[in-house]
Every structure is written in C-alpha cells, then in structure tokens.
Structure 1
C-alpha cells in the first residue's frame, strides 16, 4: 500500500491544473491505477461491474474511459506494469491476502444474513478487491489496442516508473502512493486517475479531487535531508518491505530521529532506538529503494494508432460493453491523441524560446 508520507509533504504539495500538464508524459503505476478503478467503479452496494458471464469489468471500464479523459486534457499516460515482486515484500503481500480473505468472509456473512446496509456491504466489498494476473493482462492488452505506451517492469512497477522518469523519458510519475519519491522520481503527480467529484469515505459528502504535484527536490530542501534519509524515515514508520516498521515510532518522531542522527544505524548506536526493535535488515531495505531492479524501456513511449476492431472485440463482444458508448469513445480517443501529440510537439518547440 506504500509509505504514508502525507504529513511530510503537506506544506510543499500543490494543486495542478491540467493546463500545466498539457503535452507532458506521465509514467503511471498501472497496478495502483487499476486498484483505484476496481475500488471506485462499483454498484451502490459495492458490487463491481460485471459482464453477462459474471466476470469483473470495472478495471477495463476505468482504464478505457479514464485514459481517454486524461488524453483529452493533453496529458500522455505511459502505464508501467508490475513484474515479479522482491522476496522482501512477501510478508506484506501475505498480510494483504489475509485482510482480503477476512473481508470476503464478512461480506459473505452479511449477504447470508440478508443485510441491506449498503455502506457495510460496499466497505467489505472494496476491502476484498483482488487484481488478478488475468485482469492486469487484459488491461495491458486494451491499452496496446488503444495505442497507449506501456512498459513491463522487471519487478516493482513504481520503481520502474520512477526510473523512467529519472531518465527524463517522462515529466513525472503518477500514483496515489509516495513510494516513487523514495525510488528517485523527480516529480510525483497524485490524483491523476481519480480527478473529479468523489465521495468521502463513510460520509455523504462529495469533494472535488484535483491533481497534486510533489517535487522531490523541494521536499528534501524543506526537510533539510537527503533522499537516503527520507528512505530511512520511511523504514522507521514501515514500508512494503518492513510493514510494521519500528513499533512506537510515528512519522514526526522518525523525522526528528533521522534529522538528528543522520541514519538509523547511528540512532541505534546512540541508544535512541533500542537495538532489539530493529527486526529487519535496514541496509537491505534501503538498497531496495536506492538500487531497485529496473531496466531501460526497449520500446519508444509514443502514442500509436488504435486498433478499433480489436477494442470492439475485447470490450463489446467479449465483455458486453455498450456498442454505442465504445464507438463514441473510440472517436474521442482518436481526436484526443491527435491533440495530445500536437501539445507535446508544441511543448518541445517552446523550450527553444
């Protein structure tokens, strides 16, 4: 689920207009986006969208229509898909699996009891979300049919998205998590795939969600620390590689400790952190963020012509999408890509003036 750095970034993040993103490429953590679609695109009782055969289609609905909306704003998305996760992430993955299993049991119980409490049904339905390999594969295939650039990461998608950004191939990364900053992304754009009016959890209140920008250099300058020290702060509060972190240490305390001692080992040596509380390999986790398994993309990241027949086959024939809506969306897609390409060319020319 990523590291929660929200308290540290609060003062330096800023809202973005889509005008500021026009003509720019954003490397998006595909799995992060797909989970957002699976969570948000549901019936009032929390049931995901399904086709006539009972197969979930929320992810396809989101990746298709939301990607078109992003393109219509002049933003060029580059979706990065996860590869094999590092061994050190197995504890976190097992923890997530158990949470989903418990949520599924609770949801089944509520349904057997004939519960009509929509909020509870939706809560446990969302908690039990599973993104299968088949869903991810279909999403990647749909993007390729749409002519949208995709990258297959050798390991963590977020690490690869950050690496692509650090190479200058994209302007920023796009994710709801903050991990890409730890992986070295120069910029992080949040809320890109969920902009618009959204309902607050457990409240009948709607708010307008807008893109947010966090620049790594600004964050490090404000905090007066290095990226390595930001990673150490994250390790203390818990990452996907050490989910529990150091018990009793929150983000403010972690920041104070690293600011004072420079790194975790120094704080342990000075007795600030009891040695027995470090139940994980600090250097190994630090290295996973500083030297993740990544590789330079072996394909260009340009928009290509879409395969209209292929899109119609996948969405309309295989998954019962509305023919009229899909065909209208394809026309929007073609127009949006032409305009996004034009905006990117203009951006390139602007740098010379």
Structure 2
C-alpha cells in the first residue's frame, strides 16, 4: 500500500527500466512480505506453497543471474495506528459500516494474520538454509529497508510500498520481471526531486493530506493533485510547520502572509489597476477619444473610426497584463485559503505520531548492528526441507540449486583460488560459447564431473513435479516459474559434463587463463573462416563468380515480379507455338485486370 491517492501514478513518469547488470555486485534489501503477498495473489491455488516456490526460485535468480547480494527484511509488531487502519480497510473492503468498527485501546497493537505469519516463518527458514541474511524490523519492513538504503548499507530496496520514500529510501525497485531485457523498474528520489520538486518532507505532507497506511482518510476533499499543488507552495523546511499552524487554526497563513480577512478588505479598498478601453477596437482609451484623436494601436486617423475588434479579442497592453496577474494572484490565494479551511476542519491534524514514525532513524528490532553475512547453502538440509514441503525429487532440487552454487564457486575462485570442486563433484572444463539471452551476454561453461563422483546419481534430470496448467492470465509482474536456467547434462565418452550460463565478468575474474584461451580460439576460427571464404572466391572462374554473385543478390519486389512475369510468358508461348521464338499473343483487352493478372502468373 503506502501513500494513498494513486501515488504511484504520480511517480510513474520518473520510473527507470534497468538492465541485467543493474544490481550486479550490489546489496539490495528485500521486503519479504511484499514477495509473499504478490505470490499469493498471482498463483494461489495453482501450485503447492507458492510463497516457498517463488521465494526459492526468485532468490536464486537474484543471486546468480543478476549477481546481487539480497538482504531480506521481515515485519515486526505493527503500530497501533497501523492495526486500526488495517481493520478499517478490512471493514471497507467487506462493505461493513465503519461506524461499527471497534475502537482499539490506546497503545495496543493487533498481531498479524496467523496464516500469513506462518508463511513468513517458512520463507525465513528457507532463506536461512540458502545462506541469506534475514533481518527483523521493529515495525514495518519497508521502514527498515529504507533506513538501510538511506544509511548506505544497501544500494536499493525491493518493495511496492510507496511510503518507503517517506522513511528515507533513495532507490526503490517496484517491479521485477525476471525473463525480460530490462527486468527492473526502479524509482530514484533524485529523479522525483528534479522532476516534481518534492523532497522527503513534501512527500510526508502529501501522505498526511491524502491518507497513508496509518491514516486511511487523510483530509476530506483533498486529492493527490490538490495536495501536490499545495505542498509545493512551501519549502522543505517549513511545510510541516505550516501544516501544524493551519491544523491548530491559528490563522489561515499562506504565501505573502495574507489571510481571508486581509484579502476581503484588500478587495474593497484596492484601486482598479485596469484602465478604460475602447468598446469598438478594445484598445486603451475611449471610443470618443479615438474618433477625435485617432488610436495609436489601430493606426486610424483623427475623424475616422478605429477598427472593429474581432471575436475573442484580448488586449495585451501593460494595464491588461497587470490586471490579469492580479486576478491570477487573488484566485490562487482564494484557492489556498479554501484548502487551509479544509485542513483546519480535521481534528488533531497533523498526527505527530505518524510524522515521527516516518522521520525516525531507529527501525531495527534490536540496537545491535545488523548481521550482513552471506553463507554457503546448507545443501542437504535444504533438500530435505523442500522435499518435505514441496514434494520435489532431491535430484530436481540439487539441479535447480546449481546456478547459485556455481556463482558462489566462481566468486570464491576469484578471491582465493583453490582446488575445490563445484558442489564437491565438478571441475571447470572449458568455455563452450557466448550465449545471448534477452540482449545480455553469458558464457556457457562446461563442467566435468570428477572420476570419484561418477557413481553419484545427481546428474539425473527428472521431469518437473507439481506444475499445473494455468487457465487464466496471472499478474503481469509475476513470472509464474521464475526458475533459473536449467543446467544441461550430457555424457560423452564415459564422462559426465554439465553446462551452465555464467556472467562473463565473473568467469574472467575466476579463470582468466581459460577466458584468454577461449578468445584466442574464437579469433583463430574467425580467421580461418574468413580465409576460406576469400580462397573460394579467388579460385572460382569469372563466369562462376558472376553466377554466384548474381545468385547471392536479392531482387527487389518489382524486379522479382518482372522476372517471374517474363518466365511465365515465355513458357506460355512455348506451349502455344511449340518453340521459344513464337510471337507473343496479346491478352484480350476485354478481360478484366484481375483475370489478365492470373493469366500472366498461371
């Protein structure tokens, strides 16, 4: 949720579509509740435990395909205001009268849904087995994600709650489309400040006016457009103080220190700024004076009438311009006073507890520094856990884990080269080729299974279990499977080989000699290919080269039909006369154009 009033639509023009390497070697905080809710909404009822399935695959993709270091954040105890707002949202969605909503005791929070809490606990257990760090927030998960981003601990947040900007987030990734050329839709606070002129305090003020997760109502009669225009009347340092002044009803203070009483008295006593204008031509002066002395704007002479003004004519003299600006100023002041009156009618506005919550810098559950360590997956316990929860085959789980394991292996080899094997079974063999997927290049790596591990049945590829055909379209932001590329396995001359897609830079850092060898072999093959083509062209006779050249040319559409038409005509004449030199018989002019065309091409 976050800020009400279709707040994301306001930010949509400033969204960036980022490519594969956007999160490469970067830390990113993930709002786990957002993932779980999104998964449940998209494919609930079509697969077993969707929260576990897609958390497993999406984490592997985020870690291996995109090279990120994810940090997962879970919600803590919701604030009393959030609990009351959540209950009100449920009543509203159910069509129940809000007047029957029970009033919660002051300072008392309501625990979250038990089923949802269970899903979160299962996902946390899965993530810990994968070796991912998991943090618990004091209240809202997006608040801790934003704090980590603001303090520079992480480079971005993955959440759909727009109030993360109010907590201080600098970069939010709202949408992930794993199988896409540009998989990330991101929003940067710098773009919002430059495009809309809104800072963090302005965004907090907008949320107070239109509603948020802690106060669904906001101010009656104020929408997102009105709130945007109003908060931009004040600077970042004064906007919240001005809201307090207006809410207390001290005075309807607006720009220029003008309130309603001053404005009313100024209207009565202020002199008229617009001079008289001719009713005939519309220019400064009177009709009588223009007839007597001429009109300098129309160019008329004395004793002659000036030009008749056109329909919709508007004078652009200095007097009219000043009058227009004055009317515009008064209109804006009246509008501001009207907004201030609406705000003053609200009780206890603005809510200081909500403001302090957004401006707080302590969203950790504990005062200790957060643990930000990525460990190796506990493979055997992970296999047992997913076999129990998802009813998957162990070999299927190990196979889907390989992209993550190979990424960890390459990172370890880049930092401290060792003689260890991938998953304790495979050794780096060679680079097969360069693969392009969604516009991004990967190395296809060939791994060879060690001799002492050939008896292990790990390389068996079972059919994927527990996939149901879906008859409806899921949410477009969800890739139903979001599975990593399945490693290919083959057996050649009694040896088992495994191929995976790996990041080119990561492979270059881990095995620079192998990359250099691959590039040299690739360049040698290209040279041989060019040399063979040039030798074939030089050995051919001029006739052959001419014919081969002519065959390689692609005719234009007009040339193609012209050549086809001549061939068809010659063939028809041969059939009619028995030889190729017969005189062409002109088609009858009495036939229609479509019939003549068919005769030519049949």
Deviations 1:71-103 (A, max 9, x none): 12112211101111111111222134447878x
1:21 CA displacement: 1.7
1:32 maps to 2:34: yes
1:41/1:257 Cα in 2 relative to 1: closer, same or farther (>3 Å)? same
1:191/1:338 Cα in 2 relative to 1: closer, same or farther (>3 Å)? farther
1:5/1:12 Cα in 2 relative to 1: closer, same or farther (>3 Å)? same
CA RMSD across the alignment: 3.0
1:328 maps to 2:404: no
Secondary structure of the equivalent of 2:232?
A: helix
1:252/1:148 Cα in 2 relative to 1: closer, same or farther (>3 Å)? same
1:211/1:130 Cα in 2 relative to 1: closer, same or farther (>3 Å)? farther
Is 2:132–2:375's contact at 8 Å kept on the other side of the alignment? yes
Instruction: Give the alignment of 1:41-190 within 5 angstroms.
Output: 41-42=43-44, 47-50=45-48, 57-71=49-63, 72-98=65-91, 132-190=116-174
- Equivalents in 2 of 1:320, 1:222: separation in Å? 50
Secondary structure of the equivalent of 1:277?
A: coil
* Aligned structure 1 segments of 4 or more residues deviating by more than 6 angstroms: 99-102, 340-347
Please, which of 378, 385, 393 is the counterpart of residue 314 of structure 1? 385
1:60 CA displacement: 0.3
Is 1:182–1:230's contact at 8 Å kept on the other side of the alignment? yes
Is 2:20–2:182's contact at 8 Å kept on the other side of the alignment? no
1:249 CA displacement: 1.6
1:247 CA displacement: 2.4
- Equivalents in 2 of 1:191, 1:209: separation in Å? 11
Q: Which residue of 1 aligns with 2:437?
A: none
Q: Which residue of 1 aligns with 2:494?
A: none
1:278 CA displacement: 4.7
Is 1:68–1:336's contact at 8 Å kept on the other side of the alignment? no
- Equivalents in 2 of 1:24, 1:195: separation in Å? 17
1:281 CA displacement: 4.4
Q: Which residue of 1 aligns with 2:512?
A: none
Is 1:237–1:246's contact at 8 Å kept on the other side of the alignment? yes
Q: Which residue of 1 aligns with 2:196?
A: 223
1:226 CA displacement: 2.7
1:222/1:83 Cα in 2 relative to 1: closer, same or farther (>3 Å)? same
1:287 maps to 2:346: no
- Equivalents in 2 of 1:314, 1:250: separation in Å? 49
- Equivalents in 2 of 1:73, 1:229: separation in Å? 34
- Equivalents in 2 of 1:252, 1:215: separation in Å? 21
1:318 CA displacement: 3.6
TM-score, normalising length from structure 1?
A: 0.76
More displaced stretch, 240-249 vs 280-289: 280-289
1:196/1:267 Cα in 2 relative to 1: closer, same or farther (>3 Å)? farther
TM-score, normalising length from structure 2?
A: 0.46
More displaced stretch, 81-90 vs 271-280: 271-280
Q: Which residue of 1 aligns with 2:2?
A: 2
Matched residue pairs, number?
A: 301
- Equivalents in 2 of 1:17, 1:341: separation in Å? 25
1:99/1:190 Cα in 2 relative to 1: closer, same or farther (>3 Å)? same
Deviations 1:256-293 (A, max 9, x none): 11112434335554242322235654322111111164
Deviations 1:122-167 (A, max 9, x none): xxxxxxx985211111101100000111111122111011111122
1:170 CA displacement: 0.6
Instruction: Give the alignment of 1:193-204 within 5 angstroms.
Output: 194-196=177-179
- Equivalents in 1 of 2:69, 2:368: separation in Å? 16
Is 1:155–1:293's contact at 8 Å kept on the other side of the alignment? no
1:233 maps to 2:302: no
1:257 maps to 2:230: yes
1:256/1:88 Cα in 2 relative to 1: closer, same or farther (>3 Å)? same
- Equivalents in 1 of 2:140, 2:210: separation in Å? 20
Larger Rg: 2
More displaced stretch, 62-71 vs 210-219: 210-219
1:28 CA displacement: 0.9
- Equivalents in 1 of 2:219, 2:144: separation in Å? 27
